[in-house]
Chains A and B, each alone.
Chain A
Amino acid sequence: MDVLALLADGFATSLSPVNLMIVIIGVTAGLFIGAMPGLGSVNGVAIVLPLTFIVPPSSAIILLAAIYYGAMYGGAVSSVLLGIPGASTAVATTFDGRPMAQQGKAGLALIAAAVASFVGGTISVVLFTLFAAPLADLALAFGPAEEFALVLLAFTTFVGLGGDDILKTIVMICLGLVLSTVGLDLISGQPRLIFGDMPGFYSGISFLVLAIGVYGVGEVLHTIETSKSAPAVTPARLTFRELADGLRRMNRLWKTMSIGSFLGFFVGMLPAAGATPASLMAYGIAKTTSREPESFGKGNIEGVAAPETANNAASTGSLLPMLTLGIPGSPTTALLLGGMVMWGLVPGPMLFIEQPDFVWGLISSLYTANFAAVAINLALIPLFVWALRMPFTVLCAMVLVLCIVGGFAPSQKMHDVWLIAGFGIAGYLLRKADYPLAPLVLALVLGPLMEKSFRQTLIAEQGDMMAFVERPLSATFIAIAVLFFLLPLIKVWRARSGKAAISPAE
């Protein structure tokens, strides 16, 4: 029970000069890795893993955790500056981060992202410290039915957010779901929608390919058209006064950030859910509870803070099932798990009892990594913003190169590069027709999860659909989901009847 004493022991390890240096190196490397579209924490951790065998396990895990954290902070950088989410967790950050950059407020958006990430990370580490052991049982209570209900809830939050045109949002979700079924069926192993027999489609369409296509290439095409020769991105400058001012403005976002932290931590903790639904739900809640919801999507700083708090909180939360149950919640935690097995540590219910030094060293290093990440990130913001001052003609070409390299690198298939080109053109056309792109991309991420858990539940319950509403946890999620779905419909209906009353001639 003496959590504080254990934590103090942990700090004794993580605050040693060597480990502090490791944290700083790890965070800086992670920040740059995360900021590159196509590279993420997975690549960073994979490359560094072998190096960790030359240092003691506690230093090794600190290094890996620092890279993991740095990359989570860095993910927001490309979302804001280029409008390309480097990972699915950063999609929601583009909603308001990108418009802010276009208004010349890239610096402010990045400050918001860094501070929000810090708050989210810190609050969730505190929750982790206090409740890690009892919360593991909650994660166990999550079966396929609950998983399905949670993903459904994530979907409805963004039907709700689409706001402007619900019909178009639903069309894009459906299109995303169709794309998500391409590839081999999880349950039967049969190939689906492979366009005859194109081997490239066997592994499905990856999130990165679609996101780089519609956001990266699509955005470049769109900007070329709208800007003609004038630069579309207002050259941004950032002075120290603005930095200080930005930090002061974050003070007003306490409510948003606290909701995001708690939500992120709990959703991230559930195996299979993770940071993407968490960041979406946080955005949805911030928008619904805001006094000026119409300003969301047009560069509201709260729209950056909410998802960034939640995704960082979730990345801490996802360490919980890995340590307590031995189940990795994400590819990166799977790598961490591999490292732990090698160091002779067995993740699972006994880890906290048998290896307290290691566990508390790791937890305390999350605190230090968080502090290091926010400091280094804030220090580097002027550099990132400076990159935006490049002439549009140069930036445009660089973004295209990044898109192609980022799309090719993970799978090393030309097939993906062609897909990116195709999605780029499609994304450009959809944008012209005013279709929202985020629901498309997110449906591709969440679709497989939803389909899998839906079918597992039905198989287990002999096809009984009542299974979803008979279980208390999943019934609660479904009830909230229905509410979220109806909310915008009610709003639309009200607005319509209001309009009709004013101008009956229409």
Chain B
Amino acid sequence: MINIFTRRSAMALAASAAIAVTAGAPVAAADWKPQKPVEMVIMAGQGGGADRLARLFQSIIQKENLSSMPILPVNKGGGSGAEALRYLKDNEGDAHKIMATLNSYYTTPLRTDIGVDITEYTPIARMALDTFVLWVNADSDIQTLDDWVAAVRASGGEWKMGGTGTGQEDSLLTAMLEEEFDLDITYVPFKGGGDVAKNLVGGHIDSTVNNPSEQMGFYNAGKSRPIVAFTPERIAAFPDTPTAGEEGHDIVYWMQRSFVGPKDMPAEAVAYYTAMFEALSETEEWKTYTEEKALMADFLTGDALQAYFLEERAKHADILQIMDEGSS
């Protein structure tokens, strides 16, 4: 009985594998496949943009059968992602752990000595660049960037900007705004972008620089208002919201959404995941999502991605230095 059973399930497996191949699913160069569920470490807390996106990736992978094993998202957002970075470092050579990154991938190790060197990690794929928008509560009188600057100035340093942690993307962007307009803003850290968005709508903070995906629900319900977009062109989803550049202030800032593996991840595993994400980037779901949520899909892998990481790290080091000079 047992014999028949295993033979049957083996056949079923072979059959499903064949279907997968003909359906155009990724075929890695080598025959390597994950042997157990793959842990997808997320460098941020639950409910924020990074978290939602990572969970979307997971769902598409499962739905389209892009991985032979389930993908399990794990949030390790503590200390601006230091928890996740450290976790990946402690799992050197592990072929079953991948990490969804944000820009804190560069900034956290630059700001705090947590014994992590990001050049050691294995770059897998960059899926997209996310955009930033300045938001206020829909009940506020602020309509334009100039209104906002005037309101912040009038508050005498008590203007509350919500964000996801000192050194995170939104705090850098806040620092850039402070620098550009010579303002003094109180930055209040929360556990994730979702929490930030909710606190803006609840009136506990005065403005945010959320990603569009984090505010979209409240925006559609008429509870929050976009003021300016920090992009070179207007965002398709908010045709009436000008860019900062149009208002005469050239502030552009992106958030990268990439995946990396731990140091010394086996090459076959890297090939497998790269192919998996490439197939993912071509699915209908992903294409629709990027359009709806105002994301720039920009696929990049391997050495080119590593070069991009290094370039961005240098840029962020400069911004951080300006921040430090500003505060001291």
Contact = CB atoms under 8 A, between A and B. Distances in A.
Contact of B194 (A186, A189, A202, A326): A326
A272 B160 CA distance: 21
Interface residues of B, number: 58
Contacts of A339: 59
Nearest to A137: B202
Contact of A140 (B58, B108, B201, B285): B201
Interface string A41-61: 000001101100100000000
B198 A325 contact: yes
B78 A456 contact: no
B56 interface: yes
Contact of A53 (B56, B62, B198): B62
B217 A347 contact: yes
A405 interface: no
A429 interface: no
Interface residues of A, number: 48
A189 B167 contact: yes
B263 interface: no
Contact of A327 (B79, B198, B221): B198
B56 A341 contact: yes
A202 B86 contact: yes
A180 to B, nearest CB: 12
Given A339-B59, A460-B204, A349 B186 contact: no
A290 interface: no
Interface string B193-207: 011001101111100
Contacts of B75: 331, 334
A349 B204 contact: no
Contacts of B217: 325-326, 346-350
B70 interface: yes
A187 B114 contact: no
Interface stretch (A11-19, A141-149, A157-165, A207-215): A141-149
Interface in B69-97: 70, 72-73, 75-76, 78-80, 82-83, 86-87, 89-90
A189 B79 contact: yes
B221 A452 contact: no
Contacts of A49: 59, 62, 70
Interface in A120-153: 140-144
30 contacts: A49-B70, A143-B199, A143-B202, A144-B199, A183-B78, A183-B79, A184-B78, A185-B79, A189-B82, A190-B79, A203-B76, A204-B78, A325-B217, A326-B47, A326-B194, A327-B195, A327-B198, A328-B46, A328-B47, A338-B52, A338-B55, A338-B73, A341-B56, A342-B56, A346-B216, A348-B217, A348-B220, A348-B221, A349-B221, A462-B158
Given A203-B86, A460-B160, 18 more contacts: A46-B73, A49-B59, A50-B63, A140-B203, A184-B82, A186-B79, A189-B82, A197-B115, A199-B90, A202-B83, A202-B114, A327-B194, A334-B46, A334-B47, A334-B75, A347-B217, A350-B217, A456-B189
Interface of B: 46-47, 51-52, 55-56, 58-60, 62-63, 70, 72-73, 75-76, 78-80, 82-83, 86-87, 89-90, 108, 111-112, 114-115, 157-158, 160, 165-167, 186-191, 194-195, 198-199, 201-205, 216-218, 220-221, 223, 285
